[in-house]
Amino acid sequence: MLRICRAVIVGSVLTLTVLSGSDRLRSQEPAGNSGALAQGIAEMKRGDLAASEKLLKQAIEQYPTSAEPFFWLGVVYLKLDRAVLAESMFLKVLSLRPNYPEAYTNLGILYDKQAQYDKSVKAFQQALSVKPDDQKALYNLGVSFLRQTKPADALECFEKLRHLNPQFSKAYLQEGVADSDLNRLPDAEGVLKKYTEMSPQDGGGYLKLGEVLYSEGKQKEAIAALQKATELSPDMSRAFSQLGDVYYKMALFPEANLALRKAIALDPKNVEADLFLGMLLTDEGDRVGALTCLKRVLELQPDNEKAIYYEGYINLLDGRLQAALDRLLDAIRLVPNDEKAYYALALTYSRMKRPKESEDTLRRFRELQIVHSQENNGAEYLSPGSQRGDTLDHR
């Protein structure tokens, strides 16, 4: 059964508010004397953050009661991941000008990156209380809700954002993620297709669309979307691992092998690619190769239940019964309702000549099989990723 990727929020980078282009510059400096501020902003946009920092500090020395230089210096520090300094700058801005929505939004981004979700949500909501139609604050609030596994709240944000600005393309992508998390797959497919029309060069949109299409049982369409994702984003390891997962579950083993090895080559720490390749090699009888993959998974994620289960299963196949027993019990401790682990454990007990434990374990397996059959109702899911929060930085 394929499992949908819950952990990675494709394309869900928090959007930094930098007052670009059409935003009104709020400098309180006297007319004609904004040289250091203007030059500092220009250097920041060119990517020379060190020069920008120096110039903005000069602007602060010249105009210590102006909120604008503090704001832009906070943006520079946020870009440099200097969280403490960034926070102090934005708080200074708000002490000088309490109704500054962009400062609240950037504070929210700062807190969200630190998983301080109570503070980030409050900051985004404060920005919206000052400026109810602040699209970046609304977008970032929705992304934060996705990261907190609150898809219903996220969906409300993205639907409102699309109403405010039908051309805000990322809102369609994130709404698709929220719909998917809520198992509203037809709705997710619709908005994700709209997103790929609006942003046809974004491989992340095709990646999420492929995941949703497979969950709907549209295998050929899913493969086409995932192949498109790899063409548009040839360095996106996860696109290859998801494509490999689909191939594997469709028993297209040579194609799966190639895609998964490509994913690992792009990112040696892609745990799901190593896990899927280990599963594939187990099915193909290459148990030595499978154990090598599983070992890499467990080095990065010692409590990865599926890797532990497959280690136990391979030990069972190779006749190492005590080792199999130990690993299968470990797997069940981590995921008490893993029916596969119970079935393999029942076989292990049987081969160890322990009939009572074997019968009890087999009974538990059958109970779980009935429950899971009723819950899943035949649905197919793509595999879960290892993080939540953001590739294109994106469950």
Predicted pLDDT of residue 15: 54
Q: Domain map of the chain by residue range?
A: 8-17+37-131, 303-388
The answer to whether residue 157 scores a pLDDT higher than 70 is yes
66 versus 389: which is more confidently predicted?
A: 66
d(CA 276, CA 253): 11
pLDDT, average across residues 289-308: 97
Residue 23 DSSP symbol: S
- 170 and 201 Cβ atoms separated by less than 8 Å: no
Tokens (6 digits) for 107: 């504070």
33 versus 273: which is more confidently predicted?
A: 273
Predicted pLDDT of residue 374: 76
pLDDT tens, position by position, 57-75: 999 999 999 999 999 999 9
pLDDT, average across residues 62-91: 95
| Dihedral (CA of 219, 224, 229, 231) sign | positive
d(CA 307, CA 26): 55
Strand, coil or helix: 320 = coil
Strand, coil or helix: 170 = helix
Q: How confident is the model at residue 14 (pLDDT cuts 50, 70, 90)?
A: low
pLDDT tens, position by position, 18-34: 443 333 344 444 343 45
- How many residues appear in the chain? 395
- Nearest CA among 61, 24, 12, 23 for reference residue 40: 61
Residue 12 DSSP symbol: -
d(CA 384, CA 330): 20
The average confidence (pLDDT) of the chain is: 88
Q: Is 203 exposed, middle or buried (0-12, 13-18, 19+ CB in 10 A)?
A: buried
- 229 and 239 Cβ atoms separated by less than 8 Å: yes
Predicted pLDDT of residue 212: 97
Predicted pLDDT of residue 366: 94
The answer to whether residue 246 scores a pLDDT higher than 80 is yes
pLDDT tens, position by position, 323-372: 999 999 999 999 999 999 999 999 999 999 999 999 999 999 999 999 88
The answer to whether the 8-17+37-131 and 303-388 domains have the same CATH topology is yes
Tokens (6 digits) for 71: 């704001």
pLDDT, average across residues 193-215: 96
Could you please state the CATH topology (level 3) that the domain comprising 8-17+37-131 is classified under: 1.25.40
Predicted pLDDT of residue 341: 96
Q: How confident is the model at residue 104 (pLDDT cuts 50, 70, 90)?
A: very high
d(CA 278, CA 297): 9
pLDDT, average across residues 28-50: 79
The answer to whether residue 85 scores a pLDDT higher than 90 is yes
303-388 has which CATH code? Answer: 1.25.40.10
